[in-house]
Structure 1
Amino acid sequence: MTEAASRLASAAASSAGRWPWWAQVGAIYGAARLVSACIFMAAALHQGVNPWFPATPDYWNFINIWDGRWYGEVLASGYPADLPVDGTGNVKENAWAFYPLFPFLGRAVTALTGVSPAISLTLIATAAGLAAAMVVYGLFRHRAAHGPALWAVAFFSAFPVAAVFQVPYAESLNILLLASGLLLVLRRQYLWAIPVVLLMCLSRPTGVPFAAMIALLLLLLLFRSWGRSHEAGSHNHSVGELWSLAGLTAASAAGALAWPAIAWAATGDPEAYTKTETVWRGHDLVPFKPWFDTGIQLFGPVLGVLAPFAFAVLFTLLMMSGPVTQLGLELRLWCVCYMAYLLVFLHPQTSTFRMLLPLFPLALGAALVSRSRAYRGAVITMYVLLQIVWIVWLWAWAELPGGGDYPP
């Protein structure tokens, strides 16, 4: 029986290998989302009393919690004209922390189809995740053959927090736009990337690291062009391409500032966005400090201070490793800039796992570590197991002794 099942699986894999690339990518993404749905449904059976619905909810209620409720509020009511404050004048949690593109698309789908806001947001998130998987494959094919690129898409689709691609969160839409922007940059279609990047900047806060990446890329290319200007047959960027990249740099910087500027214009408070964002962390934004605070909390007063430095060294070694260097200049530069952005501005907590998704180019590096099917299968298995941990530990709600729960 085992031998027959093995032959059947081998025949199925051989048949799927003859499908066009988009069908293979779609099948991988669909299978990953089906696995995530099964994990969600199993976890929902054990969901107890919570702030949103009765215990043991159905699948649709269970996935429409946490930030999904905030996006639903923006879809239905928009953003407050005045920042809500408590009795002491401190800004309270409000919708300005959530970027507008995702809920406004949900509003359009609801208006056109008549489906509920929760369903429209879920459909957009899932479809955007599928489109993102397609674009990610195209991006990876610039740096690797079909096989490794397809395995990297499998890693991307099964990542421990990839279940967020099928819930009403803006991550999948943001990854779609980010991957599209990176793909256009690799193709040197810098002017075409401008509208994509501007939309990306209205989906989630990835505009600042993207603008930093483009600015550094421009400086590096200018330096290379100057140094190689006398080399025969050199592959320098043309003057027109450099000017186009400069235009993308300016547009990315403007896009990164767009949402805070909109919040300022709408509320009259120049710090409307930052005040709202810092409500969830409970203190003002001080660059780098939260990493040391968390390090001390986890490892003590000595090792805790060293922990952020050790993390930075390990990440640097990762970016210098053989498989990751095969990603090329642009993708490595993006990963470095995004991680630097997290180190400067992020308050590390349980939501940090979800915020690592924009580092998806590293999935290709992981696929290039070894061609062994045993290795790659073990990675997929580990990711699915960790996805169970993420959903049961963080997505399912269980009140902490001090009240509330860890956010996913």
Structure 2
Amino acid sequence: MDNGSMDNGPMHALSVAPVGLNAALWTRLASAGTRVSRWPWWVQVGGLYLAARLVSAWIFMAAALHQGVNPWFPAKPDYWSFVNIWDARWYGEALQNGYPDVLPTDAAGNVQENAWAFYALFPMLGRVLAGATGMQPALALTLIAMVCGLGTALVAYSLFRHRATHTTALWGTVFFSTFPVSPVLQVPYAESLNLLLLAAALLLVVQRRYLSAMPVVVLMCLSRPTGVPFAAMAGLLFLYRLWHWRAAGSPRGAAAPAGSGLWSLAGLTVVSGIGALLWPAIAWAVTGDIQAYTKTETVWRGHDLVPFKPWFDTGILLFGPVLGVLAPFVFVALFVLFMMSRPVAALGTELRLWCSCYMGYLLIFLHPQTSTFRMLLPLFPLALSAALLSRSRAYRGTVVVMFLLLQIVWIVWLWAWAPLPGGGDYPP
């Protein structure tokens, strides 16, 4: 716990008046800060998260005014049309028409883009909400995403409180809420649902409530492909706990005591592994093709999945044939050093293992592209490390301002559609 901090307000930003600031204005700000600090933690977290989403909505609306001709709607769309593009259309397709029984192919027999690349839990919830209320499917998906994003902020704060004071945990939540790609949490993408379930599962693991984590992990595995790194994290954590138990003097042949949680953790590892295979297995059962999911997923890559290779290809593309081959190794070395730093070490074993396993998963399976920025969101525990790096109000405030400016870059560069010379556009 970061118990050495003396900051007691929600952001502890009002302790010393800057030179030249009007005294009456400063008094009102200080009074407002004191009142806010007395609010329940969930009101503080929820208010800050909603404020961040309002800023993102303003950026979306400003970018929409400059949106030209595109594949989905007329130029200068309204906010709701503007946020319902890209993968949101695929989730809408899955909601309304389900998943194909036969994989679509071209004349040469190559699998084409289809809904199997998009996990079913998010569109299924949208179908239930739309059916129960009569609202439009796109609106139902957007509402679910927004509510799940708020829930993620609340659960993330609760998770951070296991390692930091209220103020530092609040700053970590603010960093997560304003992260450059955080606007995706308010659009009809499955990220917010997946992060809510992931944060809940990590919280239960930190609390050593492994049996309670099992159903949460299964649902998480049906929202986005995070089951494989979670199973790896649970398995490594099991080995770590087992090693500690034996290092404490327990005989090798002796069974772990029931209260140790070791066997529950082993069960969570197995459930996570099975959960990771659920969606590919469902795609196989429906289509009759054992590779239905992987064939569909790799359509967007333009080539088959070869572990690690895309990182070297991208490195060569960006840095040339020599430095490009070295670039992935340099990246891994820097990430290892980063994970060994004091602010990251303060996260504790479980969260450090999760971040390491998830980054390892990305290195093995990810094809690095512009969508990679969005796929970094499951590393959200590192937001707490960023808050732990310094208690300086200037540093923390600068990070938030930088993140908000980078939101403009992300939305204007990647979310807004502009044709490339060769056709298409970079995906967000």
Q: What is residue 150 of structure 1 aligned with on the other side? A: 170
Name the residue aligned to 1:185.
205
Cα deviation per residue 1:241-289 (whole Å; 9 max; x = unaligned)?
1111111111000000000000000000000000000000100000000
The residue type paired with residue 398 of structure 1 is A
> Which residues in structure 2 correspond to 1:64-213 (within 5 Å)?
64-213=84-233
Q: Is 1:259 matched up with 2:279?
A: yes
Specify whether residues 6 and 397 from structure 1 end up closer, same or farther in structure 2 by C-alpha distance, changes over 3 A only: farther
Aligned partner of 1:398 in structure 2 is 418
In the alignment, structure 2 segments of 5+ residues that lack a partner are: 1-19
1:335 aligns with 2:355: yes
Pairwise CA RMSD of aligned residues? 1.3
Kindly state the Cα deviation for residue 13 of structure 1 after the two structures are TM-superposed. 2.1
Task: Compare 237-246 and 270-279 and name the one that shifted more.
Answer: 237-246
Is residue 310 of structure 2 the alignment partner of residue 297 of structure 1? no
Are positions 1:351 and 2:371 aligned together?
Answer: yes
* Alignment pair present for 1:324 and 2:344: yes
TM-score by length of 1: 0.97
Q: Per the alignment, in what secondary structure is the counterpart of residue 245 of structure 1?
A: helix
How far the C-alpha of 1:10 sits from its partner, in A, is: 2.9
Q: Which residue of 1 aligns with 2:8?
A: none
Counterparts in 2 of 1:62 and 1:225: CA distance versus 1, 3 Å: same
Q: Which amino acid is the alignment partner of residue 185 of structure 1?
A: V
2:54 is equivalent to residue 34 of structure 1: yes
Q: Distance in 2 between matches of 1:118 and 1:142?
A: 37
SS in 2 for 1:401: coil
User: Could you tell which deviates more after superposition, 237-246 or 300-309?
Assistant: 237-246
For 1:225, which of 237, 245, 263 is the aligned residue?
245
| Secondary structure, counterpart of 2:237 in structure 1 | helix
The residue that corresponds to 1:313 in the other structure is 333
Please tell me the residue identity of whatever aligns with 1:343.
L
Q: Distance in 2 between matches of 1:23 and 1:389?
A: 30
User: Which of the residues 35, 40, 43 maps onto 1:15?
Assistant: 35
User: What amino acid is the match of 2:226?
Assistant: T
Shift of 1:16: 1.0
Alignment match, 1:275: 295
Gap change, CA 1:243 and 1:349, over 3 Å in 2:
same
Contact 1:221–1:237, Cα closer than 8 Å, also in 2: no
- Displacement of 1:238: 4.9
Q: How does 1:53-72 map to 2 (within 5 A)?
A: 53-72=73-92
1:287 aligned onto 2:307: yes
Paired residue type of 2:39: W
Aligned-partner Cα distance in 2 for 1:22–1:384:
23
- Sequence identity percentage: 70
How far, CA to CA, are the matches of 1:9 and 1:167 in structure 2? Answer: 33
Instruction: Give 5+ residue unaligned stretches, structure 1.
Output: none
How far is 1:171 from its partner?
0.3
Q: Distance in 1 between matches of 2:345 and 2:305?
A: 33
AA at the equivalent of 1:85: T
Indicate the SS of the match to 2:177.
Answer: helix
